[in-house]
């Protein structure tokens, strides 16, 4: 594709790389002694965003979902690669996309060092690289029976916003305005992930919903979990829709929150609160890891809730 397009929209100074955009490869020098954490996420038009969405928002979100994976490993963001397919060379779209992308990149000190640009249905594929000290990555397979289960931020906002946008839930406009930012401008919990090194036994980011993603930790760690529905953190506006089944579903099984779900020994409670304060994000204890396999959710009345939603059904007792 036009080199001028790449030069104009995707070439920035990259002091953290030996060589950035413009050659056949980027040249990177990882910090000696650190491990590289590497992850890719694709976003497709029609599936992950719609053509009417703001290009700056798409730029933000495409990088945010990737940074969220680095956060979930406790990695410090370093470099990104951006592969993009575009139906046409649309200068205004690219300018806004790059603005959203680089604003978030600059916040986290991650540098775009290369990529590929081609014509086709709008598709974004981003690869991110970060660094983590050996043995300190937050993995999915480290949860221990007795661990507290924690989540950052609030649950269900993004899924509720999507349900509203898709007409599956009626919301007052003022209410919708409170949850829409969670869907379009998710905040990757990078500082929290780093602060949890050495404290959390396991971690994952919530992209597919709390039950499904916590389920991955349970599966990989060979343990179970008990959750209290009433302990789940949610915005007051989300709470005010809980009489709707779709809203309860959004909190437990909705995707796109990009909060961290992690487990840690009960002895680390004070340290976790201190780490969260350093990272300037709220964290909430929502349950316990159990020896017995399976995932149960206790309702406000003390009775178990039953869910059959995808992402949960393979754990149903
Ligand atoms: P090649 O044909 O050698 O793969 P390209 O013409 O595809 O080279 O890319 C030229 C340079 O621009 C390379 O350094 C590549 O990494 C970079 N590049 C291409 N597309 C993007 C993009 N969307 N974002 C960042 N860098 C890009
Ligand atoms: Mg190429």
Cβ of 20 closer than 6 Å to ligand 1, yes or no, is no
Identify whether residues 103 and 226 lie together within a single domain. Answer: no
The CA–CA distances, whole Å, from 84 to 74, 192, 199 equal: 27, 29, 37
- Of 97, 132, 167, the last residue of a domain is 132
* Domain at 50, CATH number: 3.30.1330.10
Residue 309 domain-assigned?
A: no
Residue 29 domain-assigned?
A: yes
Give the distance (Å) from ligand 1 centre to CA of residue 56.
21
- Closest C-alpha residue for ligand 1 atom 13: 22
Cβ of 84 closer than 6 Å to ligand 1, yes or no, is yes
The answer to whether the predicted template modeling score (pTM) of the entire model surpasses 0.85 is: yes
Q: Is the pLDDT of residue 21 over 60?
A: yes
- pLDDT (0 to 100) of residue 316: 38
CA 224 – CA 214 distance, rounded (Å): 10
Closest CA to 280 of 189, 200, 157, 206: 189
Q: Do the bridges between strand 76-86 and strand 35-44 make them parallel or antiparallel, or are there none, so unpaired?
A: unpaired
- Closest C-alpha residue for ligand 1 atom 1: 24
Q: Could you tell me the pLDDT band of residue 2, with boundaries at 50, 70 and 90?
A: confident
Render pLDDT for 46-70 as a digit per residue (tens, 0 to 9).
Answer: 888 888 999 999 999 999 999 999 9
Render pLDDT for 91-113 as a digit per residue (tens, 0 to 9).
Answer: 999 999 999 999 999 999 999 99
Do 204 and 217 contact (CB within 8 A), yes or no?
yes
Cβ of 82 closer than 6 Å to ligand 1, yes or no, is yes
Number of domains the chain contains: 2
Give the DSSP H/E element, type plus range, for residue 226: strand 224-228
Residue 167 domain-assigned?
A: yes
Q: Is the pLDDT of residue 124 over 50?
A: yes
Cβ of 116 closer than 6 Å to ligand 1, yes or no, is yes
Length of the chain: 317
Residue 154 domain-assigned?
A: yes
Identify whether residues 265 and 192 lie together within a single domain. Answer: yes
Handedness of CA 132, 138, 144, 150 (dihedral sign): positive
Q: Give the tokens for residue 262.
A: 């992690």
Identify whether residues 115 and 210 lie together within a single domain. Answer: no
- pLDDT (0 to 100) of residue 301: 82
Identify whether residues 161 and 256 lie together within a single domain. Answer: yes
CA 284 – CA 305 distance, rounded (Å): 20
Which ligand places an atom closest to the C-alpha of 26? 1
- Closest C-alpha residue for ligand 1 atom 18: 115
Identify whether residues 168 and 245 lie together within a single domain. Answer: yes
Identify whether residues 89 and 126 lie together within a single domain. Answer: yes
Cβ of 224 closer than 6 Å to ligand 1, yes or no, is no
Query: What value does the mean pLDDT take over residues 115-123?
Result: 95
pLDDT exceeding 70 applies to what percent of the chain? Answer: 96
Identify whether residues 158 and 275 lie together within a single domain. Answer: yes
Identify whether residues 58 and 164 lie together within a single domain. Answer: no
Sheet (strand 148-152) strand order: 202-205, 260-264, 148-152, 283-290, 224-228, 295-298, 304-305
* Domain at 284, CATH number: 3.90.650.10
Query: What value does the mean pLDDT take over residues 225-242?
Result: 96
Identify whether residues 279 and 167 lie together within a single domain. Answer: yes
CA 159 – CA 244 distance, rounded (Å): 13
Identify whether residues 188 and 117 lie together within a single domain. Answer: no
Phi then psi dihedrals of residue 171, to 5 deg? -130, 145
Handedness of CA 196, 65, 164, 58 (dihedral sign): positive
Q: Do the bridges between strand 111-119 and strand 76-86 make them parallel or antiparallel, or are there none, so unpaired?
A: parallel
Q: Do the bridges between strand 35-44 and strand 123-132 make them parallel or antiparallel, or are there none, so unpaired?
A: antiparallel
Sheet (strand 35-44) strand order: 35-44, 123-132, 76-86, 111-119
* Range of the structural domain that residue 7 is part of: 2-132
DSSP secondary-structure letter at 285? E
Residue 281 domain-assigned?
A: yes
- pLDDT (0 to 100) of residue 314: 33
């Amino acid at each position: 594709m036009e080199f001028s397009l790449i030069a104009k929209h995707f070439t920035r100074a990259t002091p953290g790389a030996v060589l950035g955009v413009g050659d056949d490869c980027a040249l990177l020098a990882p910090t000696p002694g650190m491990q590289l954490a590497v992850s890719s996420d694709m976003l497709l038009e029609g599936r992950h965003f719609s053509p009417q969405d703001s290009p700056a928002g798409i730029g933000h979100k495409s990088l945010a979902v990737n940074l969220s994976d680095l956060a979930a490993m406790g990695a410090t963001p370093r470099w990104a690669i951006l592969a993009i397919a575009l139906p046409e060379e649309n200068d205004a779209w690219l300018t806004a996309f790059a603005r959203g992308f680089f604003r978030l990149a600059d916040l986290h000190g991650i540098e775009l060092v290369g990529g590929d640009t081609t014509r086709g249905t709008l598709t974004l594929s981003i690869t991110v690289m970060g660094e983590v000290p050996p043995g300190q990555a937050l993995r999915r397979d480290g949860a221990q029976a007795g661990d507290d289960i924690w989540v950052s931020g609030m649950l269900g906002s993004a899924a509720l916003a999507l349900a509203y946008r898709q007409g599956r839930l009626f919301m007052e406009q003022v209410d919708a305005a409170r949850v829409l930012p969670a869907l379009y401008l998710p905040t990757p919990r990078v500082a929290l992930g780093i602060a949890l090194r050495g404290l959390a036994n396991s971690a994952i980011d919530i992209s597919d919903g709390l039950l499904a993603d916590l389920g991955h930790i349970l599966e990989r760690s060979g343990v179970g979990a008990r959750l209290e529905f009433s302990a789940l953190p949610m915005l007051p506006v989300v709470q005010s829709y809980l009489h709707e089944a779709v809203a309860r579903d959004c909190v437990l099984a909705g995707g796109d929150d990009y909060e961290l779900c992690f487990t840690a020994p009960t002895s680390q409670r004070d340290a976790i609160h201190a780490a969260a304060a350093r990272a300037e994000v709220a964290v909430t204890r929502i349950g316990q890891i159990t020896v017995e396999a399976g995932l149960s959710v206790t309702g406000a009345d003390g009775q178990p809730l039953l869910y059959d939603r995808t992402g949960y059904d393979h754990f149903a007792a």
